[in-house]
Amino acid sequence: MSERTDKDGAPIVRMEKLNKHFGTLHVLKDVDLEVTPGEVVVIIGASGSGKSTLIRCINGLEEFQKGKLEVDGKRLEPHGKASKALQQIRTEVGMVFQQFNLFPHLSVRDNVTLAPRKVRGASRAEARETADRLLERVGIANQADKYPGQLSGGQQQRVALARALAMEPRLMLFDEPTSALDPEMIGEVLDAMRELAREGMTMVIVTHEMSFAREVADRVIYIHEGEIVEEGPPEAVFDNPQRERTRSFLSRVLTH
């Protein structure tokens, strides 16, 4: 785990009794969650447990039906009601998905310059400078003039990370960012995320990479069937889980 200690200040995410339904399926059940500035929170759990839905609610990609949700002091409304707050949140929260979602007809550099130009109103020259700096930061500056189709999966995901960072986000969300990658490419993406953690970026990460979770997390949350079953420092959750459901889950994933 990182040695960062800057956890002071109001929570950047405050979620109270959040409920989410897909039709008759109750996906999130009275979820309470707070994330403080500079904190790295890793969410683990089986497929279909509600992990991805939870973080997609944070930036308004999924609507919720009941409860309270504030992001950086701005309140999101239930039922996906459009609001100025939602628009502001989407400019302050970066997200990296399982799939890379890059524009195939644009170069790597041009994919990254879109955010500072459209979201921050930067000039072309300023956006290019930002893109080159961020591509250097994630270790692929030498690929700037290529197109996404010419890159490996790991390289494309790092471009997606640079693009999200170009928004100058207050919070980064990661939805299983390595699940679509070949095993040999996973490490390079996790290395870029480790560097962000060391730099103090506030992050909420959904991942199946348990050793990575143990290393970077300030707090690990285990979610089962839409409920937070257990949370705490990684050493507590992984080495001394208090709930039988957590022990059962970890016994399966840590032995494979």
pLDDT tens digits for range 221-256: 999 999 999 999 999 999 999 999 999 999 999 865
Mean pLDDT of 1-7: 41
Taking 70 as the threshold, does the pLDDT of residue 123 lie above it?
yes
Q: Tell me the mean pLDDT in the region 171-178.
A: 93
Separation between Cα atoms, residue 25 and residue 45, nearest integer Å: 18
**pTM of the prediction?**
0.90
SS3 164: helix
**Which pLDDT score, from 0 to 100, does residue 211 have?**
92
Task: Tell whether the torsion through CA atoms of 197, 199, 202 and 203 is positive or negative.
Answer: negative
Q: What is the pLDDT of residue 82?
A: 67
Model pLDDT, residue 6: 45
Query: What is the mean pLDDT of the segment spanning 112-118?
Result: 86
The rounded mean pLDDT for the chain is: 90
Beta bridge partner(s), residue 222: 44, 230
Q: What is the mean pLDDT of residues 74-92?
A: 83
Mean pLDDT value across residues 179-207: 90
The residue among 118 and 129 whose pLDDT is bigger is 129
Range in 5-9, 98-102, 211-215, 235-239 the model is least confident about: 5-9
Q: pLDDT tier at 3 (50, 70, 90 boundaries)?
A: very low
What pLDDT shows up at residue 116?
83
- Counting residues of the chain whose pLDDT is more than 70, the rounded percentage is 95
In angstroms, the CA 165 to CA 196 distance is: 10
Least confident range of 1-10, 22-31, 165-174: 1-10
Please say whether the beta carbons of 89 and 60 come within 8 A: yes
> Residue 8 — pLDDT band, cuts 50, 70, 90?
low
> Residue 256 has what pLDDT?
54
Q: Has residue 2 got a pLDDT over 50?
A: no
Contact 44, 220 (CB under 8 A): yes
- Per-residue pLDDT, 26: 97
Query: Which residues fall within 8 angstroms of residue 64, CB to CB, at 6 or more apart?
Result: 18, 19, 20, 28, 57, 76, 78, 79
